[in-house]
Amino acid sequence: MNTHFSSLRSGTVLLFATIALSACVSVPEQFRGEYPGLTPQTATESDLGTRVRWGGVILDTQPSREQTCFELLSRPLRKSMRPEDSDQTLGRFIACKTGFYDPEVFVRGRELTLTGTISRIDLRKVGEFDYRYPVVEAEFVSMWPERQDVIYYEYDMFYSPYYWPYPYYRYPYGPPHRPHPGTRDKGPRIDLPPAGSKDSKPQKG
């Protein structure tokens, strides 16, 4: 009886863990599919016309008469397709999309994920250095909400009450869980329309 109950409980826990995990790594439909392992650092003229799925942090936003171009510092993408919050970079690139995207909204430091086609390689200056920028004609551009610091709590069954500064009897089920810092990861705003278009809405993180 106990063995049956234990197996049932284990199966239930595994089921809910699987469901929770699949929910956490849900990928927006626009970003699904197979893409080459090409990065801005490795892209060359021979890769023109290649479709890519890249993301990163905005360095600059430059609207022109017909389109807006974003200069981005590329980052590896997580399973959710959000750029990783790390110091690792895969190089710089330029992404251009038709329409006006307000530089006061798409400000330096915000995170984008996009799909598109490499159209050319531009040579630009970064300080005194000649830098080769792959230029992507973007199809989908998604801006992620700003990261918010949250605290996660993890129960530690081996956490000794003798190291807790308050009397143990106040916590009949053990001392409070240990806090762990983290970030709340909301989904992106998919395929943002240009400001002023009939489909546009107030653009906010």
Domain-wise residue ranges, the chain: 46-147, 149-183
Q: Is the pLDDT of residue 107 over 50?
A: yes
Tokens 């009897």 map to which residue? 169
Residue 186 and residue 184: Cα distance in Å, rounded? 6
Q: Is the pLDDT of residue 64 over 90?
A: yes
Query: Coil, strand or helix: which one is 7?
Result: helix
Q: At 122, list the tokens.
A: 């531009």
Distances (CA, A) of 133 to 44, 56, 71, 157: 9, 14, 9, 52
What is the pLDDT, as a whole number, of residue 3? 52
What is the pLDDT, as a whole number, of residue 28? 78
Query: Coil, strand or helix: which one is 12?
Result: helix
pLDDT 10s digits, 167-182: 444 444 444 444 545 5
Percentage of the chain lying above the pLDDT 70 cut: 60
User: Comparing 65-69, 117-121, 189-193, which segment has the lowest mean pLDDT?
Assistant: 189-193
Can you tell me the mean pLDDT for 99-126? 96
What is the pLDDT, as a whole number, of residue 26? 73
Which burial class, exposed, middle or buried, applies to 79 when counting CB atoms under 10 A from its CB (0-12, 13-18, 19+)? exposed
Can you tell me the mean pLDDT for 92-99? 97
Residue 64 and residue 62: Cα distance in Å, rounded? 7
Can you tell me the mean pLDDT for 88-111? 96
State pTM to two decimals: 0.66
Q: What is the CATH number of domain 46-147?
A: 2.40.50.140
Distances (CA, A) of 70 to 2, 64, 66, 79, 196: 61, 11, 14, 23, 18
Q: Is the pLDDT of residue 88 over 60?
A: yes
Residue 30 banded pLDDT, cuts 50, 70, 90? confident
What is the pLDDT, as a whole number, of residue 11? 46
Q: At 146, list the tokens.
A: 């700003």
Can you tell me the mean pLDDT for 45-57? 97
Contacts of 124 (CB under 8 A, 6+ apart): 130, 131, 133
Residue 148 banded pLDDT, cuts 50, 70, 90? confident
What is the pLDDT, as a whole number, of residue 55? 97
